Homo-oligomer: A and B are copies of this chain.
């Protein structure tokens, strides 16, 4: 068990939960329960999975559309209320109905001041291309009540160019709502999705909190692996297993991410040879 909150640190929670496709009420209740548990445990920053209210494995575009809600819908409104009541930053994924009827795989950042940012997934995985319009805006870096927080979603984090943008933009912590479909993992190995998050943190000397799902949905099982990685890439908490819900909690001294020093004379960002990259 993690101890009392250290005043120099922010307690971060990655909420690994089990969700069901189309079970919006139950999913939102599950999320609410996880948020309250995180708040009870002293967390100030709470990360939820991708597409939390809707679930992920849509049968077709019509199902995704029917489960989409606007950015001022019940999910975001409810999370904003919880953020206000408990002085939290909450980052979670939802199926967004855009102003022109487009459907996006989105995530919201709320704090006690309300909605601070909406991000729309830019790199779509597999059948997502049938359901969603890809986003075309960079991951926002938001100076929230509890730190400079960026957000991207699942497959996005596999593109180091994409991770670099909010890192260069000054993010202390990157929140990654995710639904990692389980893939075969060799014995003794950590899932590559998890290692990728660690190395993304290391490459940018920033914190990353990734919240995934557990269980199965329409035959798809999930990796779990929710993790909070420090700026050195090593896990501060997690990775969680694949089978059970878990509240992954870590105290993060977010100020550490303000230095990109990687050695006495090296700097992970300043050492980039941007004159040579194409």
Residues of A within 8 A of B (CB): 122-123, 125-127, 129, 134, 136, 138, 155, 158-162, 164-165, 185-186, 189-190, 192, 195-196, 198-200, 202-203, 232-235, 262-266, 268, 271-273, 275-278
Contact = CB atoms under 8 A, between A and B. Distances in A.
B125 A192 contact: no
Nearest to A275: B136
A158 B159 CA distance: 14
Given A162-B276, A192-B198, 14 more contacts: A125-B263, A126-B263, A134-B273, A136-B273, A136-B275, A138-B276, A159-B273, A160-B160, A162-B277, A165-B278, A196-B199, A196-B202, A199-B199, A199-B200
Nearest to A128: B265
A84 B175 CA distance: 52
A168 to B, nearest CB: 9
Nearest to A262: B158
B272 A161 contact: yes
Nearest to A264: B126
Contact of A126 (B125, B127, B266): B266
A140 to B, nearest CB: 13
A187 B198 CA distance: 16
A136 B199 contact: no
A190 B232 CA distance: 12
A106 to B, nearest CB: 16
B203 A160 contact: yes
Contacts of A202: 158, 192, 195-196
21 contacts: A122-B273, A125-B263, A126-B263, A126-B265, A127-B265, A129-B265, A158-B268, A159-B203, A159-B271, A160-B161, A160-B164, A161-B272, A162-B273, A165-B277, A186-B234, A192-B199, A195-B198, A195-B202, A196-B202, A196-B233, A199-B200
Contacts of A162: 273, 276-277
Contacts of A276: 122, 136, 138, 162
A43 to B, nearest CB: 22
Closest 6 CB pairs of A and B: A160-B160, A199-B199, A161-B277, A192-B233, A186-B234, A196-B199
Contacts of A278: 165
Q: Name which of A138, A158, A160 has the most chain B CB atoms within 10 A of its CB.
A: A160
Contacts of A159: 203, 271-273
